[in-house]
Structure 1
Amino acid sequence: MSSLPYSQACENNKYAIGSVLEHCFNQSRQVLEIGSGTGQHAVYFAKLLPHLIWQTSDQSFNHGGINAWLTAEPSLNLRPPLVLDVTQAWPIEKLELPIIDGIFTANTLHIMSKAMVQDLFKGLGEHLSLGGQLCVYGPFNYQGQYTCDSNRNFDQWLLEQNPQSAIRDIEWITELAIEQGLKLKADHPMPANNRLLHFEKNV
């Protein structure tokens, strides 16, 4: 296991996230995870939600680590990663089922540029089915204000790594969602000053 890519944050937050996903995705048949990262979330959530297909995806440079986790902790409902770049056409034709009724993404919106976040939501509007569920995990600001000093420090660190990265305002994210027919159903508090935003596609 020591050779696998590892995120302590993933291990710390997977239980809290999973308790919400069990409810949000209880009727879903296929969940597309956008930005599967190390693959740790995927192997845990696939076991937690055996009634659905958990489809991983990420940019190609992360696929080796994701596949390593899938090999180490296989599940019958867990699928190897698709190459998905939100600025490009989504590889929908490679999905096992022709419908995406669930999408999950964690710790991606603050890494992406604003233009990439906008591209992501355009893709969500195009591909998430009517009645589909979207769950987004990560840190968010409210009315332009940080929720804590640690998020303020984290945002400064993001800026130093990439000037286009930043913690996003929940009001902006909600506006992007509304433009794509998505309504915010719940805003769940999570460990380490993060949130899990639950949207539903209703248009």
Structure 2
Amino acid sequence: MPDTHLIAVVFLVFVALGAALSGPLVGWRAGAESIAAPANPSVAVGTVRTVSDRVTIDVESVSGQRFVGRLRQHADDHLVADLRPGVVLLVAFDPDAREALSLADDMVAVRAAFDRMLLRKGLLTAAQLELIRHGTRSRGVVTGMRATGGAREDYREVELDLMVRRPEGGQFPAHETTLVPASALGELAPGSIVEAYYRRGDESAVAVCVPPN
């Protein structure tokens, strides 16, 4: 599955915990009438492959395994009735019977799973992830951007100069080297606004979130 879809999912978990972002994405909390997920599920990212009697999904687990599974819910279940090929969603599965999938409904588990995936793929450092998880959320205005030439899959390494707004008023300059989706490079021109995270009392480091375009 393209990492641009993965980062879109992760961005929402960080910022909106389930709201739609850039490509098609669906997240639900399973209702009482849905089929129960396994007691100790693994969480993964799925891309809908086909929709017939059952919904078939291409899955990438947090450990990097790729396989094809099917939702336990029938395609006519109202919880999955809007699914179409290409939609990205969060799924849960039993590692001992991974072909049987359920919709992931534990956002804490989902967030932890994607934290591990981001670190494993090298898309964020542990320090950046710590700021996003526990820092102050704000916005930064891009004042300069330079591509370093570094790349990882569909991401490009850039150096960003920012003016970050303090929630209580005022702003401060920051410099951040980060990986961003290649499709978003055009959105980082001077004057662009990005999500920025930092710790109050320590403005020496920031982390930015840039979704795919």
Q: TM-score, normalised by structure 1?
A: 0.28
Asked which structure has the greater CA Rg, the reply is 2
Q: Indicate the structure with greater strand content.
A: 2
Q: TM-score, normalised by structure 2?
A: 0.27
